[in-house]
């Protein structure tokens, strides 16, 4: 009998293909798993999302990756595969200090921020609210609690396993992560608690190391009033090598004995960071020296005053149109006698090339009891689309699109993406590089519990999931926060 000859290269190819198939983490085609629900997880905690910690989600290579604050304020990450319509996760990505401090209510300042580097590894920044003196001396601000942390996926595109990289300042709060075209990563945050500089840290090796923090907004005592100058920032990619920033002024009172710390914030500002030559400028291209003080901000970067002492602000977002002109949103409302009280309604501004215009309400029919938050995209300099989460007079909580065809003079309500009764919302900024079916994250906040269902919304409403997969909250997770 003739002996059979087999090419060893062919054997290697078969074995390699089998191993590759076994390691593939992409879910297979969907199967019937019973009842479908509109949320993808039920273990989001307290205020699990915010506009300022961003991006909370990124679309890449057919997958939408999302992050949120879960049990013990830890970061959780899930992924939706659009072709197979299958979910993965959520997986716990790290361990936050803020949920392990024996407090009755969660500290929500450490919500996760996501970035995917040029090699496909997923990074999560989370857990910080200023650190504490035991973490060392904060030369750029004051302390509160919770160390800022950084974890990265062990494999590109795989959310199932994570490792911590101790390479960023532990004093960070309100992380915002930006990747430039050349792969450089900028992590932007407040370097401590309320009385702290805003800084950036730069990485040129895919987030494996970061340079020392650089201050760009300065905190300092007010020169005449019994207050302290501080800031809240929202930053994102501009065009080419630019990072654009909108920000508001935080009046931090020195005497807080009556009500504790009061989050009074006013006005709206804008400036640009050219990362190629490390220069800063205002909207008129006048150079700025950093760190910018309140006096310089008022003289060079002011967009608008937002009203009297009783009119407070809360961060919106900023984007550029095709001509390179900035468009901004800010949430403005009246203090109702308690922190975060009143109705903060979303207003819109844009730069025409010569002046700032706008200030109109995006949702003029909104009830004045709960306020609105959201983000927007620019289809053209005069064609703007907002996605807002808000509450109506009958206590219906709604997430809906609003459109303007006249440069923000008027907005018309479009489709409703989600509606619930007797809840309030937490909402993210828009998913980075979003797929039309998965544009924004929202979490409903019912009364009487700290636990939230969380949704991924797009043009067709919620991205659904089998109920058996979406019920992920464990009884053991409810021990500290009821």
Which residues form the catalytic set?
A: 109, 174
| CA nearest neighbour of 189 among 147, 222, 235 | 235
Q: What's the N-to-C CA distance of the chain in angstroms?
A: 76
Distance CA 437, CA 221 (A): 47
Query: What are 101's two structure tokens?
Result: 């401090």
Strand 227-237 to 242-253 pairing: antiparallel
Distances from the Cα of 33 to the Cαs of 78, 281, 323, 440, 467, in angstroms? Answer: 18, 55, 48, 25, 8
Task: Identify the bridge partners of residue 37 per DSSP, sorted by sequence position.
Answer: 465
Region of 137 please: left (phi>0), alpha (psi -120 to 50) or beta. Answer: beta
| CA nearest neighbour of 445 among 19, 39, 44 | 44
| CA nearest neighbour of 227 among 249, 257, 255 | 255
Distances from the Cα of 289 to the Cαs of 65, 114, 245, 274, 326, in angstroms? Answer: 37, 29, 15, 13, 21
Task: Identify the bridge partners of residue 442 per DSSP, sorted by sequence position.
Answer: 427, 455
Place of tokens 């519990």: 449
CB 157 within 8 A of CB 177: no
Give the torsion through C-alpha atoms of 348, 353, 354, 360, to 10 deg: -10
User: How many beta carbons lie within 10 A of that of residue 40, not counting itself?
Assistant: 26
User: How many beta carbons lie within 10 A of that of residue 403, not counting itself?
Assistant: 16
- Ramachandran angles phi, psi of 110, nearest 5°: -100, 25
| CA nearest neighbour of 280 among 332, 327, 250, 241 | 241
């Amino acid at each position: 009998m003739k002996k059979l000859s087999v090419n060893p290269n062919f054997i290697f190819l078969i074995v390699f293909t089998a191993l590759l198939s076994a390691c593939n983490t992409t879910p297979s085609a969907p199967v019937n798993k019973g009842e479908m629900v509109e949320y993808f997880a039920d273990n989001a905690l307290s205020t699990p999302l915010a506009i300022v910690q961003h991006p909370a989600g990124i679309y890449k290579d057919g997958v939408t990756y999302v992050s949120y604050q879960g049990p013990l304020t830890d970061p959780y990450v899930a992924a939706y595969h659009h072709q197979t319509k299958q979910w993965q996760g959520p997986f716990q990505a790290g361990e936050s200090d803020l949920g392990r401090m024996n407090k009755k209510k969660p500290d929500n300042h450490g919500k996760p921020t996501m970035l995917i580097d040029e090699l496909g590894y997923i990074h999560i920044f989370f857990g910080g609210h200023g650190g504490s003196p035991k973490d060392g001396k904060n030369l750029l601000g004051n302390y509160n609690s919770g160390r800022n942390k950084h974890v990265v996926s062990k494999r590109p595109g795989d959310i199932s396993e994570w490792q911590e990289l101790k390479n960023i300042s532990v004093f960070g709060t309100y992380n915002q992560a930006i990747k430039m075209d050349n792969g450089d990563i900028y992590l932007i945050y407040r370097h401590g608690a309320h009385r702290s500089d805003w800084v950036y840290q730069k990485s040129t090796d895919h987030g494996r190391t970061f340079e020392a923090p650089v201050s760009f907004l300065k905190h300092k005592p007010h020169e005449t009033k019994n207050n302290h100058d501080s800031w809240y920032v929202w930053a994102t990619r501009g065009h080419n090598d630019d990072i654009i920033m909108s920000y508001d002024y935080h009046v931090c009172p020195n005497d807080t004995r009556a009500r504790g710390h009061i989050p009074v914030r006013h006005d709206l500002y804008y400036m640009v960071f050219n990362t190629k030559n490390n220069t800063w400028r205002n909207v008129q291209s006048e150079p700025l020296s950093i760190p910018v003080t309140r006096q310089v901000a008022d003289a060079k970067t002011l967009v608008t005053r937002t009203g009297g002492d009783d009119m407070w602000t809360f961060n919106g977002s900023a984007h550029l149109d095709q001509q390179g002109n900035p468009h901004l949103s800010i949430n403005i409302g009246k203090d109702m006698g308690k922190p975060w009280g009143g109705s903060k309604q979303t207003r819109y501004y844009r730069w025409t090339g010569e002046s700032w215009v706008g200030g109109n309400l995006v949702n003029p029919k909104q009830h004045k009891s709960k306020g609105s938050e959201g983000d927007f995209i620019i289809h053209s300099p005069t064609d703007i689309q907002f996605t807002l989460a808000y509450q109506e007079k009958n206590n219906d909580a709604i997430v809906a699109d609003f459109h303007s065809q006249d440069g923000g003079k008027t907005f018309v309500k479009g489709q409703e993406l989600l509606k619930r009764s007797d809840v309030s919302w937490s909402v993210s900024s828009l998913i980075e590089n979003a797929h039309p079916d998965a544009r924004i994250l929202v979490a409903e906040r019912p009364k009487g519990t700290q636990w939230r269902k969380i949704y991924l919304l797009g043009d067709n409403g919620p991205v659904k999931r089998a109920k058996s997969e979406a019920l992920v909250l464990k009884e053991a997770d409810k021990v500290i926060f009821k």
